[in-house]
Amino acid sequence: MYTLSNKLRLFSIILIVVGAVGLVAGFLQAPHTIDDVKEIMAAHDAHGGGHGETTAADSHAAPAHGETSTATHGEEDAHGGDAHYEHILHQLQNKPWAALYVAAFFFFMISLGVLAFYAIQFAAQSGWSPVLFRVMEAITAYLVPGGIIMFVILGLSGFHINHLFVWADPEVVAHDKLIQGKSGWLNGTMLLVRAAIFLGGWIAYRYFAVKFSRKQDEANDNAWYRKSFKISAAFLVFFIYTESMMSWDWIMSFDPHWFSTLFGWYVFAGLFVSGITTIALITIYLKSRGYLEFVNDSHIHDLAKFMFGISIFWTYLWFSQFMLIWYSNIPEEVTYFITRIEDYNITFFGMLVMNFVFPLLLLINSDFKRINWLVIAGGIVILCGHYVDVFTMVMPATVGESWFIGLSEISAVLLFLGLFIFVVFTALTKAPLLAKRNPYIEESKHFHY
């Protein structure tokens, strides 16, 4: 049995408190009026300078606003008229909300990715992985609190308490034919109904799969294992549809005019590789603390192979989406990438380095996949890279060019990291670390590559 050390508990609680305080400060810091924005911008210009040119050049992202900005350029000041300040005000007011959203979704998607990975192990009747089942079950425990938090945030956004979803703003919809056409799908009630179905299904699978796995520990035959197999197979079918719709609802709808048919797969690849990486990190951590003595180098090697392989898979999907849109160059499609390349250049290309180039070069070597500290280093970069990926998916439509990684972003990550660590490691204490009666447990213990 694993016992949660006081140090780790304290560490996670400190993270939660620091993160919560920082996030509240982030909300309080957000400007309330146009005058606040003017002050911020003036302070910014005093040392930065030359911001006026950038805003004018940025006008392609929001054509209507761009025109006013350039038209009034000479008369008012470097920033155009009040309309422009109001625009920035909305972006800055969105910023802490968006930071909260990105971090909440990022940690939620880790546990969802692990849940899918766990189900695949059962459906494939894999023999190498049962020694890792308890680690996976513990990580999926975050699905419940993480899912509830996502649901609350989605409710606040879908009913326009905050301004994250532009389609939730009745005034915008009134002037937008495209969103009007989609409003049967994109409205607050429907969003929450669907979210409830997705979350309900995933959490239900998680509940029963873990229950069956615990009962199998005490069983004399494989009846519970066979049940696990059946619900896992059924869950995977349910999951791939709901995950796809979840990615439209929760991520793609930030840009309601834009769509991509492989977006669900793209988000899936990101959450899958983040989940597998987290399994590897937590496994290595537990081993370093003297637990999981039955996990050997070959298990770590296999996880690292998955980290490598799914990173390549993620890149493949990223590129498939990017190249077609870049090549065809249709205005309503390509604006998605133009915004990101011009306003989010560093995160857009930086995440490619972190999610593709770095894992490719580090983990291509077979021996490196067995060196724990290299796997940890690679894993941390992959996780940061996928946070930046979610960031780059959400931010351009919510805070636009007013983004920066500041107090609210860092605090939101700390808050959810603390919660994640607390929930996952508390869940680890609830059951023995070895699923001892799994029919493949002996094979898994002797797994050798």
Binding mask 241-280 toward another protein (x if CB under 8 A, else -) reads ----------------------------------------
Decide whether 237 or 323 has the Cβ nearer to another protein: 323
Decide whether 366 or 429 has the Cβ nearer to another protein: 366
What's the rounded Cα separation, in Å, for the pair 393 and 102? 9
Q: Are 401 and 347 in contact (CB under 8 A)?
A: no
Of 133, 114, 150, which is closest to residue 273 (Cα–Cα)? 114
Q: Are 323 and 282 in contact (CB under 8 A)?
A: no
Interacting stretch for another protein, rule CB under 8 A, among 57-65, 317-325, 406-414, 435-443? Answer: 317-325
Q: How far is the CB of 323 from another protein (least distance, A)?
A: 5
Among 28, 175, 220, 327, binds another protein (CB under 8 A): 327
Local structure of residue 8 (DSSP, 8 states): H
Q: How far is the CB of 358 from another protein (least distance, A)?
A: 17
Decide whether 288 or 366 has the Cβ nearer to another protein: 366
Ramachandran class of 165: left when φ > 0, alpha when ψ lies in -120 to 50, beta otherwise: beta
Token representation of residue 22: 């920082």
Decide whether 353 or 364 has the Cβ nearer to another protein: 364
Interaction of residue 448 with another protein, rule CB under 8 A: yes
Among 322, 342, 381, 384, binds another protein (CB under 8 A): 322
Three-state DSSP class for residue 77:
coil
Of 392, 323, 324, 316, which is closest to residue 360 (Cα–Cα)? 316
Interacting stretch for another protein, rule CB under 8 A, among 98-106, 275-283, 287-295, 323-331? Answer: 323-331
Q: How far is the CB of 58 from another protein (least distance, A)?
A: 21
Contacts of 125 (CB under 8 A, 6+ apart): 229, 440
Range 355-374, binding another protein (CB under 8 A) = 364, 366
Interacting stretch for another protein, rule CB under 8 A, among 161-169, 216-224, 256-264, 316-324? Answer: 316-324
Of 204, 109, 182, which is closest to residue 149 (Cα–Cα)? 109
Q: How far is the CB of 295 from another protein (least distance, A)?
A: 19
Helices (H), 124-169: 133-140, 143-158
Three-state DSSP class for residue 381:
helix
Interaction of residue 326 with another protein, rule CB under 8 A: yes
Among 54, 329, 345, 429, binds another protein (CB under 8 A): 329
What's the rounded Cα separation, in Å, for the pair 449 and 446? 10
What's the rounded Cα separation, in Å, for the pair 350 and 237? 34
Interaction of residue 313 with another protein, rule CB under 8 A: no
List contacts with another protein (CB under 8 A). Answer: 319, 322-323, 326-329, 364, 366, 448
